[in-house]
Structure 1
């Protein structure tokens, strides 16, 4: 052990104690990418060596300078070629440290100590707390894409990774602890859509993969890790994700079962490769021109035998795609790219968002007592409307929600039948009233006829009696 090393070891405990008792820590706030100067000034010029260390990196140091030379043997690798003394001559006791191109990983407590000729031991001079605010990155994306939010820890001693979004309050995007995902407080919108780029977190890689983004995913994401050395969460990265429809995006809406054409036109016919891609799936259709013929190169299995070019001759640069018998699973953002012979590069020609509506509900109308027949299919639903007698039914457009569709149809059928029953009762009552009225009228007529007949009989009897009472005239 050298004479210099021995005093360092013997005074290590003393230095630590002094750090927390007598030093007045300074606070420096910097932004990522800046060069910062951590101030330190010795009481005199009789300095043999200067040591800069960071409390969470022991026993490795930030910088050791002795007898006009740097000693790199035990320097932490993250500071290699990034630190220097402000004045290597240390005039007027100036031992300030220059730290270049700081990152958020440089945040921590820095201690400046000197070895003087008089004491022969390290003496604590200055404590500086450096806080490096991450420079927010901005990542643009379009709906349907998979995006990677990058984040890297300073070492592999990471127990916990937490990705959060500022507007989600107490819910997180992803929590990964002891090589396991913790779903307890995850926001439901991220379920089955997020993962780490490397679950082994090699080289400190804790980047997040977010699948099939939507405009609702727009926001500020923060990457935190729990460090063994500090026993606390540390923010490493801030990323603003902006999910928007690009200004030149075309939007096509189709119904299930339809054939759709996604238009795309290249600037000329000198095309080597045509590539249609869906952002969340990869290649939909990739065709290579060989000897004037289009040869399929790669394709997602769900599009097999369902896609083709509108014009295989690609006249006037027409590389539009025909997608047959679309379903709701075909909804997404499609990109058309071509590889041109002149530029020897892929060019993005067109971006199209395809929205596919679910199958329409079929409507059938019948009158009470009528038999109905119709096809039954798993891909469609049928609503029966029963009209009361004498009424003609018409088609109704019914947009029922997914959960209440069956109940809604049952309720309408019951209501329709109930109305029919009520109408039948009303008709019966009306007929009964008419009949009773007719009977009363008929009875009145008969009664009048009987009275008239009675009077005629009485008159006849009276005349008969008078004739009998008068004597005969000779």
Structure 2
């Protein structure tokens, strides 16, 4: 009979949170009555789709992270007075697409569930940033700035995903890895020093061509292959617009006159205007 009363006391709630990848943190809400939290001996956040489901644990004396999944190390926190106030909300820092899923907030008393709240988290990739540049300038920057001080065991990889798949730049183990680039990008790419400390993963592309136009993606992942951060940049390389210059035209028997013509055209001396010849390849 006692078991029945304890189970009947459990309440369930559900909510959803959607956030773009790249924000510093996201709050997963979980509010329970104060009398429930005060009588609880623990509050636990789980992501049951994982083999090791615990995301964060809190007991009366403080955090209990002994069973926490490694992917959440140093990325979660709860209010210090959570069990006193009933606010069991979880702050998840640096959310990524791979963090999407159903999270469960459970208030427990000696192993029995008193309250259970489900939060559906959806982390989306931001819309592609658009960068336009004119052919002929020295370089173009594909921007990507995020939270600094990432772990040293992550890999940063820039790829061209459209119109064809190519490896543009790879940074791992604290160094650039030019041997992992596609041949066409070797010697043409550059990242700033110590990007993991600064959080600036922007890529400089030098000596670019019209064929460099396309859809670029920067992916940051850990040693287990889990995606931590991702951003896309669309690059459009344009042909410089035509410029008009004053060109002296000389005709036989007539005074000189000036007219605006496109550059890179040469003119031959002729006997009449209609006979003016243009050489497009000087």
> How does the TM-score come out when normalised to structure 2?
0.54
> Is contact 2:22–2:95 with CA below 8 Å preserved after alignment?
no
Residue 239 (str. 1) matches residue 233 (str. 2): yes
More strand by proportion, 1 or 2?
2
* Structure label with greater radius of gyration: 1
Of 72, 78, 83 in structure 2, the residue corresponding to residue 57 of structure 1 is 72
Secondary structure of 1:206's counterpart equals coil
How far apart, CA to CA, are the structure 2 residues paired with 1:216 and 1:166?
13
Q: Deviations over 1:369-402 (max 9, x none)?
A: xxxxxxxxxxxxxxxxxxxxxxxxxxxx9x9xxx
Secondary structure of 1:172's counterpart equals strand
How far apart, CA to CA, are the structure 1 residues paired with 2:22 and 2:74?
26
Name which structure has the greater RCO, CA cutoff 8 Å, separation 6+. Answer: 2
Partner of 1:137: 129
Partner of 1:213: 208
Residue 47 (str. 1) matches residue 41 (str. 2): no
Where in structure 1 are there 5+ consecutive unaligned residues? 1-24, 70-87, 254-259, 262-352, 358-396, 400-474
How far apart, CA to CA, are the structure 1 residues paired with 2:79 and 2:178?
43
Q: Deviations over 1:260-294 (max 9, x none)?
A: 99xxxxxxxxxxxxxxxxxxxxxxxxxxxxxxxxx
Q: 1:235 to 1:89 in 2, by over 3 A?
A: closer
More helix by proportion, 1 or 2?
1
How far apart, CA to CA, are the structure 2 residues paired with 1:354 and 1:227?
52
Residue 186 (str. 1) matches residue 211 (str. 2): no
Equivalent residue pairs, number? 209
Where in structure 2 are there 5+ consecutive unaligned residues? 1-13, 46-54, 57-68, 248-261, 267-278
1:96 positional shift: 5.4
Partner of 2:20: 31
> Is contact 1:194–1:208 with CA below 8 Å preserved after alignment?
yes
> Is contact 2:97–2:125 with CA below 8 Å preserved after alignment?
no
> Is contact 1:113–1:122 with CA below 8 Å preserved after alignment?
no
Q: 1:231 to 1:107 in 2, by over 3 A?
A: closer
Secondary structure of 1:134's counterpart equals coil
> Is contact 1:142–1:214 with CA below 8 Å preserved after alignment?
no
How far apart, CA to CA, are the structure 2 residues paired with 1:234 and 1:171?
21
Q: 1:130 to 1:158 in 2, by over 3 A?
A: farther
Secondary structure of 1:241's counterpart equals strand
Partner of 2:5: none
Secondary structure of 1:213's counterpart equals coil
How far apart, CA to CA, are the structure 1 residues paired with 2:83 and 2:214?
51
Secondary structure of 1:47's counterpart equals helix
1:133 positional shift: 1.6
1:26 positional shift: 9.0
> Is contact 2:98–2:228 with CA below 8 Å preserved after alignment?
no
Q: Deviations over 1:98-126 (max 9, x none)?
A: 88xx976586268554555x438998854
Secondary structure of 2:198's counterpart equals helix
How far apart, CA to CA, are the structure 2 residues paired with 1:148 and 1:174?
13
Q: 1:67 to 1:183 in 2, by over 3 A?
A: closer
Partner of 1:471: none
Secondary structure of 1:192's counterpart equals coil
Partner of 2:193: 198
Q: 1:106 to 1:226 in 2, by over 3 A?
A: closer
Of 144, 169, 183 in structure 2, the residue corresponding to residue 151 of structure 1 is 144
Of 164, 167, 175 in structure 2, the residue corresponding to residue 172 of structure 1 is 167
> Is contact 2:219–2:231 with CA below 8 Å preserved after alignment?
yes
Partner of 1:108: 99
1:41 positional shift: 6.4
> Is contact 1:163–1:221 with CA below 8 Å preserved after alignment?
yes
Q: 1:184 to 1:38 in 2, by over 3 A?
A: closer
How far apart, CA to CA, are the structure 1 residues paired with 2:196 and 2:244?
41
Q: Deviations over 1:401-441 (max 9, x none)?
A: xxxxxxxxxxxxxxxxxxxxxxxxxxxxxxxxxxxxxxxxx
